[in-house]
């Protein structure tokens, strides 16, 4: 890939991560990143195919609380660029997407747990002084780190090609991936516990149990669990509405 193309792809992927952390226009999604990178590389068709393929790969992956998901922006951006460089070979994209997403997950974990935490403590000191301008600068610095964590690796991967990406994947120690995976799982468990605390209405807990049983014991996939949830919402609204209307009907009968 040319220097300009690699730079534009890196800038787009970096913007996708910044968008995810700020205004959330959903430009970080593979279904958008794939076609945009395809246009940058001059192969929109391949971009559409790769973007849709990677989107489907992670469509049913739901992370709650503070769990760190695989990085779909890096996966779709780099995979699309490599597929375009290979003349539209989408098999390269599929083979590259998951390893790149897992590497992105490791990078995101390091960013969130090390760099951002350090910046947060600095912002706390400015907060104690009431220095709003400095707090805003710290937020901007945190966003600029995305160029280091995501922009530079994307540029190198696109510019040097698939062999560079494969070398990074092979060089990443298994213990590092496993350790961060375990740590991410623990953080996800804490995040889920915090999320469950938001269910203050005890009457809604049976629905959570039904969803848990469907997913954990009955082997129903995410689409099936989602349909069960939709049905539960309609049934809940139907029965609660009927219950709320019942006293009014009884009162009218007494009036008659």
Q: What's the pLDDT tens digit per position in 54-75?
A: 888 777 566 655 566 778 888 8
Choose the most confident range, by mean pLDDT, from 97-101, 192-196, 223-227: 223-227
SS3 for 27?
A: coil
Which spans in the chain are helix H?
A: 3-21, 30-41, 44-57, 72-85, 90-110, 116-129, 132-146, 152-160, 162-171, 174-197, 205-216, 222-255
Mean pLDDT across the chain: 80
- Token readout for 158 is 């696109």
> What is the distance between the alpha carbons of residues 247 and 243, in angstroms, rounded to a whole number?
8
> What is the distance between the alpha carbons of residues 31 and 39, in angstroms, rounded to a whole number?
13
pLDDT in tens, 14-31: 999 899 888 888 888 889
Q: Max CA-CA distance within the chain?
A: 85
- Token readout for 245 is 């209307």
CB 37 within 8 A of CB 81: yes
The DSSP output letter for 256 is -
Angle at the Cα of 130 from the Cα atoms of 128 and 136, rounded to 5 degrees: 105
Sign of the dihedral through C-alpha 169, 173, 175, 181: negative
CB 42 within 8 A of CB 74: no
The answer, as to whether pTM is greater than 0.75, is no
CB 80 within 8 A of CB 38: yes
Band of residue 249 on the pLDDT scale cut at 50, 70, 90: very low
**In the predicted model, what is the mean pLDDT of residues 129-141?**
91
Band of residue 114 on the pLDDT scale cut at 50, 70, 90: confident
CB 77 within 8 A of CB 151: no
Nearest to 71 by CA among 102, 94, 40: 102
**In the predicted model, what is the mean pLDDT of residues 183-199?**
61
pLDDT at 250 over 90: no
User: What pLDDT does residue 251 have?
Assistant: 45
Q: Which residues fall within 8 angstroms of residue 58, CB to CB, at 6 or more apart?
A: 30, 69, 70, 72, 75, 101
Nearest to 124 by CA among 111, 113, 109, 139: 139
**In the predicted model, what is the mean pLDDT of residues 88-111?**
76
pLDDT at 98 over 80: no
Band of residue 119 on the pLDDT scale cut at 50, 70, 90: very high
User: What pLDDT does residue 35 have?
Assistant: 94
Band of residue 52 on the pLDDT scale cut at 50, 70, 90: confident
The DSSP output letter for 58 is T
pLDDT at 235 over 60: yes
User: What pLDDT does residue 255 have?
Assistant: 46
Band of residue 216 on the pLDDT scale cut at 50, 70, 90: confident
């Amino acid at each position: 890939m040319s220097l300009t193309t690699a730079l534009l792809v890196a800038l787009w992927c970096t913007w996708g991560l910044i968008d995810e952390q700020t205004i959330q226009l959903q430009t970080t999604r593979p279904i958008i990143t794939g076609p945009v990178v395809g246009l940058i590389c001059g192969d929109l068709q391949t971009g559409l195919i790769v973007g849709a393929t990677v989107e489907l790969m992670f469509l049913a992956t739901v992370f709650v609380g503070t769990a760190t998901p695989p990085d779909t922006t890096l996966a779709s951006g780099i995979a699309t660029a490599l597929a375009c460089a290979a003349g539209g070979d989408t098999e390269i994209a599929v083979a590259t997407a998951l390893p790149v997403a897992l590497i992105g997950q490791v990078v995101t974990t390091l960013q969130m747990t090390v760099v951002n935490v350090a910046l947060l403590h600095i912002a706390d000191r400015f907060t104690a002084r009431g220095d709003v301008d400095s707090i805003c600068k710290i937020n901007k610095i945190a966003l600029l780190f995305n160029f280091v964590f995501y922009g530079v690796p994307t540029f190198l991967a696109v510019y040097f090609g698939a062999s560079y990406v494969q070398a990074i994947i092979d060089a990443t120690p298994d213990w590092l991936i496993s350790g961060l995976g375990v740590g991410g799982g623990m953080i996800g468990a804490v995040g889920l516990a915090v999320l469950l605390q938001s269910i203050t209405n005890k009457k809604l807990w049976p629905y959570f149990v039904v969803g848990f049983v469907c997913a954990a014991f009955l082997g129903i996939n995410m689409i099936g669990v989602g349909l069960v949830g939709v049905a539960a919402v309609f049934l809940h609204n139907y029965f609660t509405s009927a219950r709320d209307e019942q006293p009014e009907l009884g009162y009218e009968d007494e009036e008659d």
